[in-house]
With several copies, the nearest count.
Chain A
Amino acid sequence: MRHIREGFKNIGRNGWMTIASVGAVTTTLILVGAFLALMLNLNEMADNIEDDVQIDAMIEQTADEEQIQNLGNEIEKINGVQSAVFSSKDDQLNSLIDSMGENGQAWQMFEQDNPLNHVFVVKTADPQDTAPVAKQINELQGIQSVNYGQGVVEKLFEFNSYARTIGLVLILGLVFTAIFLISNTIKITIMARSKEIGIMKLVGATNGFIRWPFFIEGLLLGVLGSIIPVAIILTGYYYLVNNISQHINYSFIEILPFNPFAFQLALIIVAIGALIGVWGSVMSVRKFLKV
């Protein structure tokens, strides 16, 4: 009890130092929060793009309806396949013409004499399985060839994996920087009080007696320092979800929903603040307890 009370009082007693520490915690956590929000969203977008990858399994021109039905069943039995949807050669031509815009109109004359194949559009449960699944499908009787953007898809996955690694490194780097900066600031403010700690020891205080109020103080610094970041994240993200996302309209830009994402993020921020506050404060005070 005394320790909790003293911890709270110290927040007030140290005036400017407290403000400076809380300021450092605040700015650092805003940074961490903003980058976490950004990176987690980019990750989600990368997932969405990968989910769009599909395998076009072209069926031999000679196959009859029953063979096609069987093929569909066989494909769906392959491990990792999520769905296999039949698409006739006419559908294929139409979507080709559509995708070519004005240019495509020149091809409409081939509607009578369609050189394309019927196709199974196959999706895998895990996009990473695309290549092996495509290979298995290709070996099935009645399949002429498979097309899943060979080359491009591999590159996409490679690029995404690089991007994810960079993102992870950045976030980890940022979190470690945050930990260092916050505990460093707290350390300096405690250093400035090393003389006082020495006096306490001389008056007969045990290390635990001295440490507890610092523990509480660190916790408070961390929590106080995360109030503004949490407020910014909640309101900022709310604004983003409701406004910006209406203006950008690419299929692959899809922002994570406000609830629960923003609340989870807020929780992470408070937890980081509180943990580093306590840790930085307790670690720093340890140094000066050897009087």
Chain B
Amino acid sequence: MILMKDVHKTYANGVVALSGINVDIKQGEFVYIVGPSGAGKSTFIRLMFREVKPSNGTIRINDINVNDLKERKVPYLRRNIGVVYQDFKLLPKLSVYENVAFALEVIEESPAVIRKRVMEVLDLVGLKNKARFLPDELSGGEQQRVSIARAIVNHPKIVIADEPTGNLDPETSREIMKIFEEINDRGTTILMATHSKEIVNTFRKRVIAIEDGLIVRDEHRGDYGYES
């Protein structure tokens, strides 16, 4: 489903973020991306939905070559991938409800379906009563949960989450993990970059460790692995 071959990424300022990534992720897998700060996890994630383009190498998602994809086609790729951004990326002038609904409006869902799905998913992340608020009126953890809600609202085939529990307490984190496991059980592929040793060691999944732009470990049912 997700296939990367010898992927390199050097940013415009000369920083080498990835230097030769090879990876094969099957449909329905649940994969943690771990590694120290600045290792290249977010860059790795951003390649998949073409937020950044690789300097070298090929990326295939569902047999679509992401590099060669026409500009026009990119939105359709992105609709199949729900992304929780490390910095949330909420639209500041839209309410919580409108932010989540946006992901359904782009695929032209009917208003009735939108209302139902959005309220369902806001309920799931515990923000049903904050639907009318603006992002600025939320706490950090609440904003993060809106970003999670938006990522999963349109039942994407792949969910990519960059540090989705960084601003959540362990209790709420666990609830979010349960949601991810549930949609994973329904066949959704999940990629999650995380620094949470506790989560990785509790919910055992495949672990890919990135250091200095290279995959240094790739274990099924692995642990967080770094000494504490």
Asked if B9 is at the interface (CB within 8 A of a chain A CB), the reply is no
Asked if B70 is at the interface (CB within 8 A of a chain A CB), the reply is no
Which A residues, 170 to 222, have Cβ-Cβ distances below 8 Å to chain B?
196, 199-207, 209
* Contact of A196 with B75 at beta-carbon distance under 8 Å, contacts A2-B105, A204-B103, A205-B106 already known: no
Which residue from B92, B93, B150 sits with its C-beta under 8 Å from A203? B150
Which B residues, 49 to 83, have Cβ-Cβ distances below 8 Å to chain A?
49, 51, 71-72, 74-76, 78-79, 83
Asked if A14 is at the interface (CB within 8 A of a chain B CB), the reply is yes
- Inter-chain CA distance A206–B91, complex, in Å, is 16
Asked if A286 is at the interface (CB within 8 A of a chain B CB), the reply is no
Check B92–A209 contact: CB distance below 8 A.
no
Q: Which residues of A contact B107 (CB under 8 A)?
A: 204
Shortest Cβ distance from residue A131 to the other chain B in the assembled complex, whole angstroms: 64
- Inter-chain CA distance A207–B106, complex, in Å, is 11
Task: Report the interface size for chain A: residues with CB under 8 A from the other chain.
Answer: 16
Asked if A13 is at the interface (CB within 8 A of a chain B CB), the reply is yes
Check A205–B93 contact: CB distance below 8 A.
no
Nearest neighbor of A193 in chain B, beta-carbon distance? B93
Check B105–A206 contact: CB distance below 8 A.
no
- Inter-chain CA distance A201–B107, complex, in Å, is 13
Q: Which residues of B contact A209 (CB under 8 A)?
A: 75, 105-106
One digit per residue, 1 when the CB lies within 8 angstroms of any chain B CB and 0 when it does not, for chain A 9-33 equals: 0100110000000000000000000
Q: Which residues of A contact B89 (CB under 8 A)?
A: 199, 202
Check A204–B91 contact: CB distance below 8 A.
no
Check B93–A14 contact: CB distance below 8 A.
yes
Shortest Cβ distance from residue B96 to the other chain A in the assembled complex, whole angstroms: 14
Nearest neighbor of A197 in chain B, beta-carbon distance? B91
Q: Which residues of A contact B49 (CB under 8 A)?
A: 202
Nearest neighbor of A199 in chain B, beta-carbon distance? B89
Nearest neighbor of B156 in chain A, beta-carbon distance? A204
Check B78–A196 contact: CB distance below 8 A.
no
- Inter-chain CA distance A206–B76, complex, in Å, is 8
- Inter-chain CA distance A202–B49, complex, in Å, is 8
Q: Which residues of B contact A206 (CB under 8 A)?
A: 72, 75, 106
Check A203–B51 contact: CB distance below 8 A.
no
Check A204–B79 contact: CB distance below 8 A.
yes
Q: Which residues of B contact A200 (CB under 8 A)?
A: 91, 102, 106
- Inter-chain CA distance A2–B85, complex, in Å, is 26
Check A205–B91 contact: CB distance below 8 A.
no
Check B76–A196 contact: CB distance below 8 A.
no
Which residue from B51, B75, B83, B94 sits with its C-beta under 8 Å from A205? B75
Looking at A2, A202, A204, A205, the one whose CB has the most chain B CB atoms below 10 A away is A204
- Inter-chain CA distance A124–B107, complex, in Å, is 69
- Inter-chain CA distance A203–B100, complex, in Å, is 10
Shortest Cβ distance from residue A244 to the other chain B in the assembled complex, whole angstroms: 48
- Inter-chain CA distance A182–B128, complex, in Å, is 42
Shortest Cβ distance from residue A206 to the other chain B in the assembled complex, whole angstroms: 5
- Inter-chain CA distance A52–B1, complex, in Å, is 86
- Inter-chain CA distance A290–B107, complex, in Å, is 20
Looking at A2, A14, A199, A203, the one whose CB has the most chain B CB atoms below 10 A away is A203
Looking at A13, A200, A202, the one whose CB has the most chain B CB atoms below 10 A away is A202
Check A196–B79 contact: CB distance below 8 A.
no
- Inter-chain CA distance A204–B80, complex, in Å, is 9
- Inter-chain CA distance A203–B78, complex, in Å, is 7
* Contact of A196 with B106 at beta-carbon distance under 8 Å, contacts A204-B76, A206-B75 already known: no
One digit per residue, 1 when the CB lies within 8 angstroms of any chain A CB and 0 when it does not, for chain B 118-158 equals: 00000000000000000000000000000000100000000
Nearest neighbor of B49 in chain A, beta-carbon distance? A202
Q: Which residues of B contact A201 (CB under 8 A)?
A: 74-75, 78
Binding site for B on A (CB under 8 A): 2, 10, 13-14, 196, 199-207, 209, 290
Binding site for A on B (CB under 8 A): 49, 51, 71-72, 74-76, 78-79, 83, 85, 89-94, 102-103, 105-107, 150
The 10 closest A-B pairs by CB, nearest first: A204-B79, A204-B78, A13-B93, A205-B106, A206-B75, A204-B106, A199-B89, A204-B75, A203-B103, A196-B91
If A201-B74, A204-B75 are given as contacts, then 13 extra A-B residue pairs at C-beta distance below 8 Å, sorted by A number, are A2-B105, A200-B91, A201-B78, A202-B78, A202-B83, A202-B85, A202-B89, A203-B103, A204-B78, A204-B79, A205-B106, A206-B75, A209-B75
Can you show 13 pairs from A to B with CB atoms below 8 A apart?
Answer: A13-B94, A196-B91, A199-B89, A201-B74, A201-B78, A202-B51, A203-B103, A204-B75, A204-B107, A205-B75, A205-B102, A205-B106, A209-B75
